[in-house]
Chain A
């Protein structure tokens, strides 16, 4: 359904300030479902705002609100930098 993009990477590899479009969400079914209910849906644009002082978790802006995810969760989310 989604073809691999050349510029495809996972959310945890972005840097603070980067904008990206969500391509695909992997991982355990319940987690994927909750992420999607929170608005983390393929095609959505997000911006990485910052990483916590200790390096984890990270904060993104999505659909006009701020959401914090751990790196392990972010690593399951494929994005394309824009």
Chain B
């Protein structure tokens, strides 16, 4: 590994000025993130650029005695931005962002095996005039492809130091650190030959920029003229004179303003072609079939490619669905144990109640998502780093494009079958904002695993176990239909959103298929760690807070002791809804023996819990919303269940257990099934029948009932606007679908038994 410097190979050690902030720029797939992780390790901070939903990644890097900040800019193919991420990269390098100081120096990561296209961005960065080092990455891959890059020659051509590195293996990092610790020279980039009129226009603008003492007027003029720069921003930053000069320059160029970028691209590739000829040994010779080519022959094969893809997705699905369930169970047990511990050591009372059922249960509600998030991001990291993710998008794009989505939406949507939270976090691989937002909005319509206990309870209790045509089990058919319904709704919603909210020409695919690579374990680990800690910090706190609020709503106010309801075992199951508050005289029977005693205690306890829930704010809300949900066939008890389900859908089952006084219940409890079947409306009609069960099932397919998902959407979209929209549209969809099913069903008398 060597460091090549343009004019003075060894920079004088006279004054060593280490810059404080270094920006890392580079193409997607150039190994920028790997280098960032290798330089900063775990010392990273992930935030957001204010006002946009673009991630801001910073890390600390030790350079001998001192420490510098490394800012990882979003990956971009050019400094003529076409998305908010790319705009950030351009604006930071031009110093246009008020929240981010212009970096002291830049490291451009360049993929040696794909030199020409990577130099497109690199030369654009060099023209801005900031002290810049070129980190020539993947020199091993280039060499194995029979392309030897002459670093010294390249350094001379580019007018900037070039450091050869292999980021995945950590090679050349010492040399890079050394180069960073020295004073980095200002670049002397090669001259781009623009069409004469465009050149004249650039000179005009550059003259005006020089007047206001912009150091690298020529390069910056080109960036403003050909780089999709927004007029308002230029006016604000450079002043009226420059903004006027830009308009004049555009007119002088003889090219339509929106075609200036293309004109630059043509000129730049002409320049790069010549540079690559000189800096790469035998650049034109066709390299032999590489390992990647041979792997691709199988992995994107018409038959094998699809079969392997199906296997891999099945594996990912299996991992998040069933392997992650073991650690999830352990977390569940652990949380219960901690709760039990507090119950033992703390005196009964509101504080113990808050700690056990509010805080501990809330922390549990957050932690329980971690295994799925970690497992999914392990696979996503693996698929991304090996280069397979791009192939997955290549294989699936046709299907996804039918509903206006990008091929990359496939994995996030698939993950959402286990849980929408890791799925939504995984949409980061989709660079186009409209595509990404659409994918986020439809992800919760995929049937997540939290819906399963509700489906199981309803189907086992109310769907007759018969065989359609003697072959198809009706319960299985219903279960399958619920999954299909979710998928169809998601696809329909995607189509609608792409035609309304996120209208616009479909973004081009333009997907790079990078060579297959061995992933670096360190990178995988860092990705998992980063996602997990971000979930805990950003979404976890919101989930915890809302869990505590929900617990409060379902626990308070407490029934006054002297107002206790009739909770004797003799009292009927079908209390008048108001009975709980009316406060009948309690009749305590004397049991005959101990077994009866404990049974009676148990029943009394369950009834008390039911009465307490009914008396709580949540219970009252259940009563209040009854008129809203009775057209769907739901009574107030189901209403309470729906409120409880907001903490997580499966909580519905446990809440129903409490409402129906059967104590701790899960989807297989016989007592809960019986209690449901026996519940009556005040006029004596049974509350539950097959139709109500179907209506409720459909409600669960469509409704947004998960505060954790909302918290993650807020985190990913940078505000409450989209989570609120998601809640509203999904609730509306659920209500309308259940209303239609219940009303039409009642009209024709279907499933009323």
Residues of A that sit less than 8 Å from B by CB? 25, 28-39, 41-42, 44, 50, 52-57, 59, 63-70, 72-73
Q: In the bound complex, how far is the Cα of B259 from the Cα of A31, in angstroms?
A: 11
Contact partner, B399, options A28, A54, A68, Cβ 8 Å: A54
A-B contact pairs, 17 of them (CB 8 A): A33-B261, A39-B120, A52-B395, A57-B398, A57-B511, A59-B394, A59-B513, A64-B115, A64-B145, A64-B283, A65-B512, A65-B514, A66-B513, A67-B511, A68-B397, A70-B508, A73-B508
CB-defined contacts of A57 to chain B, threshold 8 Å:
394, 397-398, 509, 511
CB distance B117 to A63 under 8 Å? yes
- Docked Cα-Cα span, A35 to B119, in Å, equals 15
The answer to whether A73 and B117 touch across the interface, beta carbons within 8 angstroms, is no
A64 touches B398 (CB 8 A): no
| CB of B305 closer than 8 Å to a CB of A | yes
Q: Please, which residues of chain B bring their CB within 8 A of the CB of A64?
A: 113-116, 145, 147, 283, 287
Min CB distance B79 to A, Å, is 10
B262 touches A32 (CB 8 A): yes
Q: Does B401 contact A (CB under 8 A)?
A: yes
Q: Is the CB of A37 within 8 A of B508?
A: no
Asked whether A66 lies within 8 Å of B510 as measured between CB atoms, the reply is no
Name the residue on A nearest B265 (C-beta): A36
Nearest CB of B to A77, in Å: 11
**Contact with A37, one of B120, B259, B305 (Cβ below 8 angstroms):** B120
Chain A: interface secondary structure? mixed
Known A41-B269, A65-B114; contact A53-B300, beta-carbon cutoff 8 A: yes
Are A53 and B114 closer than 8 Å at their CB atoms?
A: no
Residues in chain B near residue A69, CB distance under 8 A: 508-510
CA A42 – CA B80 in complex, angstroms?
Answer: 19
Contact of B78 with A by CB under 8 A? yes
Residue in contact with B510 in the complex, picked from A28, A41, A67, CB distance below 8 Å: A67
Given A37-B78, A38-B510, A68-B511, 13 additional A-B pairs, CB 8 A: A28-B505, A29-B259, A32-B259, A35-B508, A39-B269, A42-B266, A44-B269, A53-B305, A64-B147, A65-B117, A65-B514, A67-B510, A70-B401
Query: Which of chain B's residues have a CB closer than 8 A to the CB of A29?
Result: 256, 258-259, 261-262
Please determine whether B262 and A67 come into contact, CB atoms closer than 8 angstroms: no
Contacts of A50 in B (CB 8 A): 300
Residue contact A33 to B80, C-beta cutoff 8 Å: yes
Q: Is the CB of B258 within 8 A of A30?
A: yes
Nearest opposing residue in chain B for A73, CB measure:
B508
Contact B262 A36 (CB under 8 A): yes
Indicate if the CB atoms of A73 and B509 lie closer than 8 Å: yes
Cα-based distance from A6 to B510 in the complex (angstroms): 28
User: Would you give the shortest CB distance from A49 to chain B, in whole angstroms?
Assistant: 8
Chain A residues within 8 Å of B287, by CB? 64
CB-based nearest B residue for A68? B511
* Complex: A50 Cα to B722 Cα, angstroms: 39
Bound CA span A70–B405, Å: 13
Complex CA distance for A67 and B505, rounded to whole angstroms: 21
